[in-house]
Amino acid sequence: MKEQGLHKTELTLKQKLWQIQWFLVLLLFTAASVGFAMLYSAGGETAGTGSLNPWASRQMIRFGLGVVMMLTVAVLDIRLWLRHAYALYLATFVMLVVIELGGFVGTGAHRWINFGVVNIQPSELMKFTMVLALARYFHGGSIDDISRPLFLLPPLLLVAAPSALVLRQPDLGTTVMLIIAGGVIFFLAGVKLWKFGALALAALVSAPIAWHFLRDYQKNRVLTFLDPERDPLGAGYHIIQSKIALGSGGLFGKGFMLGSQSHLKFLPEKQTDFIFTMLSEEFGLMGGLGLLGLYSLILVYGFAISLRCRNQFGRLVGLGVTTTFFLYMFINIAMVIGLIPVVGAPLPLVSYGGTAMVSMLFGFGLLLGVYIHRDTQIGRRGSGEEL
Amino acid sequence: MGSLIALYGTSMLRDSDRHKLFSRRATMLAGGKMLLLSALVGRMYYLQVIDSKRYATLAEENRISLRLLPPPRGSIIDRFGKPMAVNRQNYRVVMNAESVQDAERMLDVLGDIIKIGGGERRRILREFQHKRSFVPVTLRENLNWDEVARVEVNAPDLPGVTIDVGQSRYYPNAYETAHILGYVAAVSGKERRGDPLLELPGFRVGKTGIEKTHDLALRGAGGRSQVEVNALGRVIRELERLEGLPGAEVGLTIDLGLQTMVSRRLKGKSAAVVVLDTHNGDVLAMVSTPSFDPNAFNKGFSAEEWKNLISDSRAPLTNKTISGLYSPGSTFKMVVALAALEKKAITPMSEFFCKGYLKLGEDKFYCWKEGGHGVVALEKGIRESCDVFFYETALRTGIDRIALMARRLGFGRVLGIDLPGEQPGLMPSRGWKMSTLGSQWMQAETMLAGIGQGYMLATPLQMAVMTAQLVNGGLRIKPRLTRDIKSPFPTMEEPPFEQTKLDIDPLHLTLIRNAMHAVVNHPTGTAYKARIDKPGYEMGGKTGTVQVRRISEEEREKGVIKNKELPWKERDHALFVGYAPIKNPRYAVSVVVEHGGGGAYVAAPIARDILLEAQRRKSARRGMKRPTKRPAKRPTKRLWGEG
């Protein structure tokens, strides 16, 4: 990684492949493998048995396809992503609107759009296309620009519009993630801290009004979070059972495929949102910490790559992706251990689910790409020369 | 070019500013994330290390469900081993309260499959709320095959609902044995205490009769099964099983053959019969009619059936042999005679003249025989049941001496038979009248007592016990229904029968027995028509006809209205006490037919048939060994150790 200055010569494909952080890829693969193992266990009908069906095998195939896509994204010229950032954002946004008009309705909320062969959840994609769009916008602005309030208006809209749409679906978890991830990019771009304070104050003031607009089940989730015993067989059931499963796992767990809570179906959604609980029940605190350690390593990679990058777009994309990854992980784990209300959020790379896996790997493709193109000089609109 | 470089330079400068700012902010971001991550770790540590024990317990509670195993109720057999109360399979639908969240909804679904009445529904919802969660609630019992199949087919729609094979009580000779055995029924709220078994769905306890007397022994001890269940309440596997102890088998003194014969003989009458073994007080038959179907208590009555049962003036639910109170009438004359002989108020030779009535002051006391018996001594007095003779005798003996003798023979007190609901009856005396009615005893009342009427009340059981003691040589007996209990409970065995003398002069007893023999076998005896001709089977006894209405002077002049012309409720009670055979009497019987008419015409023939049948069957014989098979396999783990 010697200082090359401004290289105008394009990297060849071979060079790019060489530049891929293969250790990061290995970390991702390890995390996904933890998921395979847990899905194998979850597939078992009774304690002590596991099965590739119905979840583990399909997850493996998705991961395989996702990795291919990730590497493709990584080696594509980063300026390409910059140039098409708004277009991608717009496309995702349109998909969200289409869903509002009538997509496939599942699990009480319409989040899916049917593309014939695959069902796509545009809200998952939006988490990354929004990062791209914001990164492009701030890439083009100087420090002076950023201090101008009017300059901040378009990116605010970039965050607010999809958030509002997703909230209407209703998907509280994704909304929160979009807003926080957007905020983090504002923060990294250099927006003054007092502005965040002002915004937070405004949010606090408007919270009672927002409460008014929440759906009953969302209110229930918040209330249940505050007091899970409130309704032990209703809304609080998930979180109580999750805590019981987790707590009873103890330090070293009950053993692979021997989680009684999960296998006796006390634990709901054990293959998706509550897979961390299952892991912790079967492998105990050590298993949970192990996965957290793995995640932390990935986060460290994300930070290192972003800090090393010599263009603002890459830096913002890198930490945007890393932050989204972190939010997935944090919201999911904090939810299953009862730190925050139950909002639907998968455990990244581990939970069963196609779109989340694919879009997460798309994000990591961007991150790998940021590293490959760390020294690429990018103009305001994505060309090498133009500033 | 220079300008280009300069441009680049400023650009570089600007970018490096941005990079610096970015790095600073990224560091802050990283710090924030580390903080959040450590919050996760802290929380996980708290849940999985500090609080782990609590959650482990909760997980076990989740997973492990304790089920009670009801023990099979002990059977009841007669003295020869014939089953009188047994258990039959009963299919029922039960609901695990812990895995049903919305009972109302579940009942709606189930209601479409099998019929559930409105009252049942309320009961289920009430039980659903009050029971401990691991105790299943019975939804319906006695399902037929069709209903069982329909519930099984719809099982996926009914989480927490299962078909359960239970056992229900069955009485093969329902009507014939109802009053002895009693019945079992669902546990009432008051009884639901102590034994967790009582909370089991459809658990039955004895409510009356032997079922109640020996309820604890018959019940046995409940077992426990620890099962692993999943979130839907489905049992995954059994973890541990602690077998209970089946209920004990109770052997009765009843001869079921004789019992059914007596029942049939009394069909259509409101009557009570007790047959005793004179040697030891074994109750060989005990029949009260009309009867009821104890099996119906298991199935449940309709409101109408139940109303009929309670409002019937002939009291089918009452065991008249121990709870029915009657004036003993002339059957009491032996007691009066014994009291008089003992006091030496009369001798066997003492004679009185019966002119059809006895005048006491202004009042006339009539003999049953118009025109009178003429000269009457003791034997004739009993044989022909002369009332005047016993008016005189009673007056000479005094009520207190009569009462004393009556008590010795079992009147006016509880005999202690092993059935609930036994009545003591009433044996009046001076002291009794003073303390309860607050007035002086009248001589007229002594005369009435002399013929077993007036205040006096006795149960058919007391009459039978009296008869047995008169003819068994003056041995005191205590009537009993329980022969033995094959039970692991140590205290359940009855104390062995002890023979004690009543301390009555044997000579007097012989006199009385001879007179009772004459009642049946002498051509002028009141029960001569009901005698047993078969040699060696002859019986002795005493008739009794008890007035239940007052006969006015006016009516006497016009002629007493015949029983058949009276409404049923006003007809006389027909009584007879008897024994057989004449030599070494083994069987004593008392017969009371409510409003039956004359004792000689109605009660005596019944007693004859019964005594004949008892002798023919040799009801009291002991030779037959009862089968000794154990009711169920021995438990693998004993609740009561064997040392």
In chain A, the residue whose alpha carbon lies closest to the alpha carbon of B38 is A292
Inter-residue contact B409 to B335 (CB < 8 Å): yes
pLDDT band at A235 (very low <50, low <70, confident <90, very high): low
A289/B41 CB distance under 8 A: yes
| Count of Cβ atoms closer than 10 Å to residue B605 Cβ | 17
Q: What three-state secondary structure class fits A91?
A: helix
- From the CA of A113, how many Å to the nearest CA of chain B? 32
The pLDDT of residue A344 is 76
Whether B20 has its CB under 8 Å from any CB of chain A: the answer is: no
Mean pLDDT to the nearest integer, B498-506: 84
The rounded Cα B345 to chain-centroid distance in angstroms is 44
State residue B496's pLDDT score. 59
Q: CA B361 to CA B349: how far, in whole Å?
A: 27
**In the prediction, which pLDDT does A360 show?**
94
Mean pLDDT score, A334-346: 85
Q: Does B538 score more than 80 pLDDT?
A: yes
Indicate the range of B203-217, B287-301, B569-583 predicted with least confidence: B287-301
Q: How far is B87 from chain A (nearest CA, A)?
A: 36
* DSSP 3-state of A284: helix
Asked if A304 has any chain B CB less than 8 Å from its own CB, the reply is no
Weakest mean pLDDT among A110-124, A187-201, B310-324:
A110-124
Amino acid found at A72:
T
At residue B537, the pLDDT reads: 94
Structure tokens at A127: 């988490």
pLDDT value of position A338: 86
pLDDT tier, B434 (very low <50, low <70, confident <90, very high otherwise): very high
pLDDT for the residue A228: 58
Question: Hey, are the CB atoms on A264 and B62 less than 8 Å from each other?
Answer: yes
Residue reference for tokens 């929004």:
A130
Residues 220-249 of A with CB under 8 A from B: 233, 241, 243-249
Q: How many CB atoms lie within 10 A of CB B601?
A: 17
The pLDDT confidence band at residue B6, using thresholds 50, 70 and 90, is: very low
pLDDT band at B634 (very low <50, low <70, confident <90, very high): very low
CA distances from A354 to A24, A65, A114, A255, B75 (A): 21, 10, 13, 28, 65
Give the residue-averaged pLDDT of A237-250. 85
HSE-CB for B481 with a 13 A CA cutoff: 31
Gyration radius from chain A CA atoms: 21
Provide the 3-class DSSP secondary structure of residue B138.
strand
Contacts of B6 in chain A (CB under 8 A): none
| Token pair recorded at residue B611 | 């005594």
Domain B65-252 and domain B256-479+502-617, same fold? Reply is no
Contacts of B557 by beta carbon, 8 Å cutoff, 6+ apart: none
Window 113-142 of A: residues touching B by CB (8 A cutoff) are: 142
Cβ of B230 within 8 Å of Cβ of A266? The answer is: yes
pLDDT for the residue B429: 92
Interface test with B, best of A4, A186, A188, A279 (most B CBs within 10 A): A188
Asked whether the predicted pLDDT for residue B66 surpasses 50, the reply is: yes
In this prediction, residues B392-413 reach a mean pLDDT of 94
**Tell me: the pLDDT tens digits for A150-208?**
999 999 999 999 998 887 776 778 888 999 999 999 999 988 889 889 888 988 888 88
Question: Looking at per-residue confidence, does B528 or A145 come out higher?
Answer: B528
Q: pLDDT: is B244 or B370 the higher one? A: B370
Q: What is the mean pLDDT of residues B382-405?
A: 94
Query: With a CB-CB cutoff of 8 Å, which residues 70-109 of chain A face chain B?
Result: none
Determine the residue type at A105.
V
pLDDT tens-place string over residues B563-573: 778 888 888 99
Considering CB atoms only, which of B40, B55, B56 is closest to A333?
B40
Q: Which helix (H) or strand (E) holds A205?
A: helix A193-213
Q: For B449-455, what is the mean pLDDT? A: 92
Longest dimension (CA), chain A: 64
Strands in B64-69's sheet, in edge-to-edge order, are B64-69, B223-229, B235-242
B8 touching A, CB under 8 A? Answer: yes
The pLDDT value given to residue B201: 67
Q: Tell which residue, B108, B177, B167, has the closest CA to residue B142.
A: B167
Catalytic residues of B: 330
Contact (CB<8Å) B229/A251: no
| Residue A354: pLDDT over 70 | yes
Q: How far is A387 from chain B (nearest CA, A)?
A: 8
Collect all residues of chain B within an 8 Å Cβ-Cβ radius of residue A144. none
- What is the rounded distance in angstroms from the CA atom of residue B143 to the CA atom of residue A271? 41
Cis peptide bond upstream of B70, omega within 30: no
Has residue A50 got a pLDDT over 90?
no
What is the rounded average pLDDT for all residues in chain B?
A: 85
Kindly state the tokens that stand for B262.
Answer: 């007596």
| Residue A245 to residue B59, Cβ atoms within 8 A | yes
Alpha-carbon distance B530 to B532, whole Å?
Answer: 7
Contact by Cβ (8 Å): A260, B63: yes
Element (H, E) at A187: helix A172-189
Tokens of A86: 């708004």
Cβ-Cβ contacts under 8 Å, B30 against chain A: 303
List C-alpha distances in Å: B125 to A50, B66, B160, B203, B212.
Answer: 40, 22, 15, 18, 29
| Least confident piece of the model among A88-102, B217-231, B323-337, B368-382 | B217-231
| Whether the Cβ atoms of residue A188 and residue A302 lie closer than 8 Å to each other | no
From the list A359, A335, A175, A214, the residue with the least C-alpha distance to A268 is: A335
User: Would you state the pLDDT for residue B505?
Assistant: 92
Cα of B23 vs its chain's centroid, Å: 91
Conformation bin of residue B344: beta by default, left when phi > 0, alpha when psi is -120 to 50? left
Report the pLDDT value the prediction gives residue A382, as an integer from 0 to 100.
62
Nearest to A244 among B43, B62, B101 (CB): B62
A62-110 pLDDT, tens digit each: 999 999 999 999 999 999 999 999 999 999 999 888 877 765 544 444 4
Is B6 in CB contact (< 8 Å) with chain A?
Answer: no
A114 or B476, greater pLDDT? B476
Whether the per-residue pLDDT at B243 is higher than 70: the answer is yes
The set of residues, in sequence order, having a beta carbon less than 8 Å from that of A193 and lying 6+ positions away, is none
Residue in chain A lying closest to B16 (CA): A310
Q: Is the confidence at residue B5, as pLDDT, over 80?
A: no
Residue pLDDT, tens place only, B69-125: 888 889 999 999 899 999 888 788 888 766 677 778 888 888 888 887 777 788 778
Tokens of B171: 């009485």
Of B22, B45, B101, the CB nearest to A315: B22
- Beta strand B161-170 with B83-95 is antiparallel
What is the reported pLDDT for B9?
A: 44
* pLDDT mean across residues, chain A: 85
pLDDT attached to residue A135: 94
Give the residue-averaged pLDDT of B253-261.
Answer: 94
Q: Token pair of A105, please? A: 């309705």
State how far the Cα of B56 lies from the Cα of B48, in Å rounded to an integer: 9
- In A, which residues are within 8 Å of B32 by CB distance? none
Confidence class of residue B642 from pLDDT cuts 50, 70 and 90? very low
Beta-carbon separation of A188 and B58 below 8 A:
no
Q: Assess whether pLDDT exceeds 90 at residue B467.
A: yes
Is the predicted pLDDT of residue B4 greater than 50, yes or no? no
Are A339 and B43 within 8 A, CB to CB? yes
CB contact under 8 A, A251 and B48: yes
What's residue A254's pLDDT?
87
A266 touches chain B (CB under 8 A): yes
Residue in A46, A187, A339 nearest the CB of B39: A339
| pLDDT value of residue B3 | 45
* Helices marked H in B46-135: 52-63, 103-113, 118-130
pLDDT confidence of residue B156: 79
A102-116: buried (b, 16+ CB within 10 Å) or exposed (e) per residue?
Answer: ebeeeeebbbbbeee
Q: Are B162 and B93 in contact (CB under 8 A)?
A: yes
Cβ neighbours of residue B269 under 8 Å, at least 6 residues apart? Answer: B289, B593, B594, B596
Inform me whether the C-beta atom of residue A255 falls under 8 Å from chain B C-beta atoms: no
Contact B543, B519 (CB under 8 A): yes
Sequence spans of domains, chain A: 14-372
B474, B352 contact by CB (below 8 A): no
| Helix runs in B266-386, H state only | 295-299, 303-311, 320-323, 333-343, 378-383
ipTM of the complex: 0.89
- pLDDT exceeds 50 at position B139: yes
**CATH pick for B65-252 out of 3.40.718.10, 3.90.850.10, 3.30.1360.200, 3.90.1310.10:** 3.90.1310.10
CB contact under 8 A, B25 and A249: no
Among the ranges A6-15, B109-118, B289-298, B475-484, which has the highest mean pLDDT value? B475-484
pLDDT of B609 higher than 70: yes
Residue B643: its pLDDT value, please? 28
Assigned CATH class of B256-479+502-617:
alpha beta
Establish if B98 touches chain A: CB-CB under 8 angstroms: no
- Tracing tokens 């390593």 back to the chain, one arrives at A297
Q: What percent of chain B has pLDDT over 90?
A: 49
Domain boundaries, chain B: 65-252, 256-479+502-617
Does A306 reach chain B within 8 Å, measured CB to CB?
A: yes
Which residues lie closer than 8 Å to B402 by C-beta, 6 or more apart?
A: B335, B336, B339, B394, B446, B449, B450
Q: At how many degrees (to 10) do helices A172-189 and A149-168 cross? A: 170
Percentage of chain A beyond pLDDT 70 is 87
Output the pLDDT for position B488: 60
